[in-house]
Amino acid sequence: MGLPSPVFFPIFDSMTQQTPKVAIIGAGIGGLATAIRLVAKGFVVDVFEKESQPGGKLMEIRKDGFRFDLGPSLFTQPERVEELFTLMGERTSDHFRYRRLTNICRYFWPDGTRLNADADPDEFAYEVRRVLHIEPHKTSQYLNQAQRLYDLAAPLLLNRPFPTVEALMSPAGQKIGRNPWILDPFVTLHHRNQKSLLRPVRVRSSPIPSAREQRPSASP
């Protein structure tokens, strides 16, 4: 599903007889995606970036043969990126390839604890029991609740601008409108983790294939 068109710009300015220009500040993924969508609609777009390279939080640093992501490690909603290439008449696979991993990432703590996040929810729940001694049914409950929140919030907040009348009138919008607390708006992820899993740990993750660029199979 594509994002709605920006309706507030005319594609052709009848006063000046010129295609309107758009300036975008910031060449992070948000600025770049917006630029691509506007170019595909025929706008003339300039993107201004204060850093020496585009990418924003997607940037990386390389040192001693290692590659470090400065921001995202999980490629969420790849269909959104595919959509941008399609808009420009390009094939994503001509530029880069990706595949779904069985083992998504590895979580680690300062005390040496390591936890492999399997893409399969049951495998993940058993790994959580092995490493963190949390019963699988608790992890499953936690994941189901996360899925429930995602299913409620995504149609409203992720897949379209918010708030729009259309979003508010949708079934998800009406459900949240009747009971906004259903989304736990004032609960942080850390607090929820503590409450649901009774293990006060904060996490950082390392994407397994990219953490050690030269010897991926030997990542700790």
Ligand X SMILES: Cc1cc2nc3c(=O)[nH]c(=O)nc-3n(C[C@H](O)[C@H](O)[C@H](O)COP(=O)(O)OP(=O)(O)OC[C@H]3O[C@@H](n4cnc5c(N)ncnc54)[C@H](O)[C@@H]3O)c2cc1C
> Residue 86 or residue 205: which is nearer to ligand X going by CB?
205
Segment contacting ligand X by CB under 6 A, of 26-34, 87-95, 110-118, 146-154: 26-34
Question: For residue 94, what are its two tokens?
Answer: 């001509």
- In the bound state with ligand X, the residue whose beta carbon lies nearer, of 68 and 85, is 68
Which residue, 68 or 126, has its beta carbon nearer to ligand X? 68
DSSP classification of residue 129: H
Determine the Cα angle at 216 with ends 211 and 217, to 5°.
130
Can residue 53 be called a binding residue for ligand X (CB under 6 A)?
A: no
35 makes contact with ligand X (CB under 6 A): no
Q: Assess contact for 101 and 209: CB atoms under 8 A.
A: yes
d(CA 172, CA 187): 20
Kindly state the number of chain residues that form the binding site for ligand X, as judged by CB under 6 A: 19
153 near ligand X, rule: CB under 6 A: no
Stretch that binds ligand X, among 47-55, 106-114, 153-161, 187-195 (CB under 6 A): 47-55
Residue 58 binding ligand X, by CB under 6 A: yes
Could you give the string, one character per residue 170-189, with x where binding to ligand X holds by CB under 6 A and - elsewhere? --------------------
27 is an interface residue for ligand X by CB under 6 A: yes
**Tokens of residue 66, six digits:** 């290692």
Residue type, 87: L
Selected range binding ligand X among 9-17, 70-78, 110-118, 155-163, rule: CB under 6 A: 70-78
What residues contact 111, with CB distance under 8 A and at least 6 apart?
none
Q: Is 118 helix (H, G, I), strand (E, B) or coil?
A: strand
Asked whether 113 and 204 are in contact (CB, 8 A), the reply is: no
Residue closer to ligand X, measured from CB, 50 or 99: 50
Residues 153 and 156: their CA atoms lie apart, in Å, by 5
Q: What are phi and psi of 30, to 5 degrees?
A: -65, -50
Q: Which residues bind ligand X (CB under 6 A)?
A: 25-31, 48-51, 56-58, 71-74, 76
